[in-house]
């Protein structure tokens, strides 16, 4: 008959005594499973450890057959233990054998046990084992028992990761992968090229004291640490000149909000009250957050995990006195920071005169650190899975933010080639800068208006640096995506006012909220759809939720008081949708008039043409609008019914095909007939060869990434538009798959700069 439960704090005290004794790790594990079984009135307690190849091996047990130790194995995802490891969450079952994932291992003798409680053993957010208790009688374990088992799992994580388990520790041998060169292609986060040496960001803070001797003392330490953290974050954000009056100040305000979040602080306090030290509580809550957020499908929400990690790591350093990598005085002059993940405030900790590039294993394009890297002009690469395991501090490395390529320990020839590429890039940029004040006019006198696409206030300096005519597309949804809740009217007004102020009189086209498909808001519930790109998104969502649309329009009108303002509606499929959107604008004008608010001196309304059905309604639509813009990314995608995000379809259909160019030519001609300006905003406009094809079909206005303005302007000034159109016109009627090769041949023959 098992003894009565000892209570979680008593268990932790006993565990501390076991860990203090000079025993080998295996003997320690054997004693620990006996203690846990006794404490939880469990007839079985087992520890499974993750081995190479994602295999969970039974390492210690009380209650199962001893001969099963080191013989019973389950793969990740196999059986209940494998399910816990796969999902990084616990399981509490009264009748385990009827669970669909239950797998019977005859050598263990566990068929007589019905109830089952298992939790993952986690280290740094990764599952390194599973801890299980079982009983013969059917029962659900209490919340207190779950809490005790989770806390015990933290202690086990330290034993397993300490290297004391010789059976688990990897054999020390020469790692060939750490000696040879590697070439990878990951996701580009911020353009630019950097050569330098590896700096590993934030080596893990080692926690040696897990179990509290005095809970009141640990609560006091935690409180003081949180207060210091909050002060540190406030000083960092308030004291950064680069952050002031910029939109990525919103990004950093998120960090401030997390630091002052009462829910996070309360979870830390609750963890300490279970008997953990302050630093162990931080790691416990950090592991829980990572496990929960990594299971989320929403990429934006997963990216917020890095903001929480940033705070947790800062708090751990405060509590343990560990120094941050960024505070090193011996940082190399050409540092390439390599991190598993990083928050935006952590990047700002570094001396920006020394950081030449950033590589993240987990960060994607929507991560806050990527936004800050782009704003600071630091080349950045993301989703570089496995890279940290192949690099050591001081290793030479090359980052190509344009292509997403990373070269680890490159040979001398490659280093020389990239050094020359950097010099060539600098020379080209100097040439483009010399064109900044010159007009984008072809050799035969055709003027082409070049604008930039933007989505953040920090993009606006590029408007003036590039010499662009204006902002042809301002993506308003980025402000919404970075916020933790729907931005208030005052916040939106301030945001749009800053954009107009930064534009310094140059025109700005604000696109209304384009949410849906691959862009989601964490605070706005959206239905799961089989084909979200064709689903409830963009103007469709806005018209179904008119209050959201009207609030945004009101903010734009108030921000543009006394100025010219342009508003564009995305994803319009028919004329009626435009009329509904225009009615919302008219209602807001009437609302503001009634309340004596000053209105814009000139308001222009336009539509994005990105759904093919609209092409055949242009004669009805164009008389009603002030301008139109071709959304080339979606228009080409929908023309070919080809998902542009599907790697198997990438390159199958070319936007420089006769069909795509003919469709865009038709739109341009309709615009001319109705006297309405038609521009193009999309990736096509920023690439010289593609832009050449667009100029050829008569496109006289394009909007692009800021870095594309210089190269495209150089192309335009070397081009004869009439000759090009004479060359292209018969080809548009040809059955060829693409005109890319023909256009390249034309450029080479006529000296067009590409």
**The whole model's pTM is what?**
0.59
Q: Residue 244's pLDDT is what?
A: 46
Go through the domains of the chain in sequence order and give each one's CATH number: 8-161 (3.30.450.40), 180-202+326-422 (3.50.30.10), 215-323 (1.10.274.10), 440-750 (3.20.20.60)
DSSP code, position 268: H
How many whole angstroms separate alpha carbon 293 and alpha carbon 291?
A: 6
- pLDDT average, residue stretch 114-118: 95
Res 628 pLDDT > 80:
yes
What pLDDT band is residue 615 in, cutting at 50, 70 and 90? Answer: very high
* Residue found under tokens 């916020």: 483
Q: What is the DSSP string of 12-24?
A: HHHHHHHHHS---
Kindly tell me if the per-residue pLDDT of 6 is higher than 50: no
β-pair partners for 182: 408
Question: What pLDDT, in 10s, does the model give residues 344-396?
Answer: 767 877 887 899 999 998 777 656 677 778 767 789 998 888 787 778 788 89
Confidence class for position 167, pLDDT limits 50, 70, 90: very low
Please report the pLDDT score of residue 646 as a whole number.
Answer: 66
Residue 242: per-residue pLDDT:
44
Q: What is the pLDDT of residue 165?
A: 53
Predicted confidence at residue 182, as pLDDT, reads 81
Q: Where do we find the tokens 């990004």? A: 251
Percent of the chain whose pLDDT exceeds 70: 86
Most confidently modeled of 9-23, 150-164, 300-314, 590-604?
Answer: 590-604
- CA proximity to 701, closest of 545, 509, 456: 509
Give the whole-angstrom CA distance, residue 29 versus residue 42. Answer: 16
- Position 644 pLDDT exceeds 70: no
DSSP state letter for 276: B
Higher pLDDT residue, 2 or 547?
547
CA distance 505 to 107: 78
Whole-number Å distance between alpha carbons of 685 and 694: 8
What pLDDT score was predicted for residue 463?
87
Highest mean pLDDT range out of 124-133, 389-398, 585-594?
585-594
Cα 338 to Cα 355: distance, rounded to the nearest angstrom? 11
pLDDT at 88: 86
Q: Tens digits of per-residue pLDDT, 217-263?
A: 999 999 999 998 888 777 766 655 444 444 455 555 666 777 777 88
The per-residue pLDDT for 287 is 79
For residues 583-612, b (16+ Cβ closer than 10 Å) or e, as one string?
Answer: ebbeebbeebeeeeeebbeebbbbbbbbbe
- At residue 412's C-alpha, the angle toward residues 411 and 415, to 5°, is 90
Mean pLDDT of the region 293-301: 56
Cα–Cα separations (whole angstroms), residue 642 to 432, 520, 654: 35, 21, 11
- Average pLDDT, integer, range 387-410: 87
């Amino acid at each position: 008959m098992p003894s009565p439960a000892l209570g979680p704090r008593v268990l932790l005290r006993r565990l501390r005594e076991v860990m203090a004794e000079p025993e080998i790790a295996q003997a320690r594990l054997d004693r620990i499973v006996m203690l846990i079984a006794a404490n939880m009135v469990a007839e079985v307690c087992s520890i499974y450890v993750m081995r190479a190849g994602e295999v969970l091996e039974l390492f210690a047990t009380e209650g199962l057959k001893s001969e099963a130790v080191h013989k019973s194995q389950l793969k990740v995802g196999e059986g209940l233990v494998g399910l816990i490891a796969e999902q990084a969450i616990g399981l509490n079952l009264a009748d385990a054998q009827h669970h669909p994932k239950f797998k019977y291992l005859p050598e263990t003798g566990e068929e007589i046990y019905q109830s089952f409680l298992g939790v993952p053993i986690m280290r740094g957010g990764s599952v390194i084992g599973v801890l299980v208790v079982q009983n013969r009688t059917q029962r659900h374990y209490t919340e207190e028992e779950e809490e005790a088992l989770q806390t015990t799992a933290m202690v086990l994580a330290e034993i397993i990761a300490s290297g004391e388990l010789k059976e688990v520790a990897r054999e020390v041998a020469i790692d060939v992968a750490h000696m040879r060169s590697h070439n990878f292609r990951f996701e580009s986060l911020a353009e630019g090229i950097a050569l330098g040496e590896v700096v590993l960001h934030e080596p893990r803070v080692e926690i040696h004291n897990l179990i509290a001797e005095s809970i009141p003392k640990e609560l006091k330490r935690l409180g003081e640490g949180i207060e210091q953290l909050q002060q540190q974050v406030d000083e960092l954000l308030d004291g950064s000149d680069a952050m002031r009056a910029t939109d990525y100040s919103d990004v950093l305000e998120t960090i401030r909000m997390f630091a002052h979040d009462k829910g996070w602080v309360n979870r830390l306090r609750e963890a300490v009250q279970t008997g953990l030290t302050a630093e162990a509580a931080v790691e416990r809550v950090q592991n829980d957050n990572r496990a929960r957020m990594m299971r989320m499908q929403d990429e934006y929400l997963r990216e917020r995990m890095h903001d929480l990690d940033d705070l947790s790591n800062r708090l751990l350093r405060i509590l343990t006195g560990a120094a941050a990598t960024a505070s090193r005085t011996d940082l190399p002059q050409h540092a390439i920071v390599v991190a598993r993940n990083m928050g935006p405030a952590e990047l700002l900790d570094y001396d920006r005169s020394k950081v030449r590039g950033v590589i993240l294993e987990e960060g994607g394009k929507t991560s806050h650190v990527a936004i800050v890297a782009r704003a600071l002009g630091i080349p950045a690469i993301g989703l570089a899975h496995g890279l940290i395991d192949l690099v050591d501090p001081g290793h030479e490395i090359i980052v190509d933010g344009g292509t997403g390529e990373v070269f680890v320990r490159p040979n001398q020839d490659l280093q020389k080639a990239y050094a020359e590429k950097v010099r060539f890039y600098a020379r080209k940029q100097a040439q483009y800068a010399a064109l900044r004040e010159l007009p984008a006019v072809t050799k035969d006198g055709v003027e082409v208006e070049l604008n930039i696409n933007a989505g953040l206030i920090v993009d606006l300096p590029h408007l003036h640096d590039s010499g662009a005519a204006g902002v042809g597309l301002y993506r308003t949804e980025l402000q919404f995506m970075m916020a933790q809740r729907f931005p208030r009217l005052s916040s939106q007004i301030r945001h749009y006012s800053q954009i107009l102020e930064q534009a310094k009189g140059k025109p700005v086209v604000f696109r209304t909220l384009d949410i849906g498909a691959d862009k989601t808001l964490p605070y706005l519930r959206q239905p799961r759809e089989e084909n979200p790109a064709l689903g409830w998104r963009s103007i469709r969502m806005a018209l179904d939720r008119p209050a959201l649309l009207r609030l945004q329009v009101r903010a734009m009108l108030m921000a543009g008081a006394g100025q010219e303002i342009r508003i564009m509606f995305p994803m319009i499929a028919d004329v009626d949708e435009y009329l509904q959107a225009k009615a919302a604008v008219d209602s807001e004008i009437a609302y503001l008039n009634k309340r004596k608010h000053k209105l814009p001196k000139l308001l222009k309304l336009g539509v994005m043409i990105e759904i093919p059905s609209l092409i055949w309604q242009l004669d009805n639509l164009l008389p009603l609008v002030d301008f139109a813009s071709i959304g080339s990314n979606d228009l080409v995608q929908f023309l070919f019914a080809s998902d542009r995000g599907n790697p198997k379809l990438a390159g199958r259909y070319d936007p420089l095909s006769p069909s795509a160019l003919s469709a865009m030519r038709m739109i341009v001609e309709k615009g001319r007939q109705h006297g309405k300006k038609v521009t193009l905003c999309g990736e096509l406009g920023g690439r010289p060869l593609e832009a050449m094809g667009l100029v050829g079909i008569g496109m006289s206005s394009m909007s692009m990434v800021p870095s594309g303005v210089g190269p495209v302007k150089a192309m335009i000034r070397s081009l004869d538009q009439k000759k090009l159109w004479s060359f292209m016109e018969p080809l548009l009627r040809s059955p060829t798959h693409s005109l890319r090769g023909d256009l390249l041949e034309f450029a080479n023959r006529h000296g067009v700069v590409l």
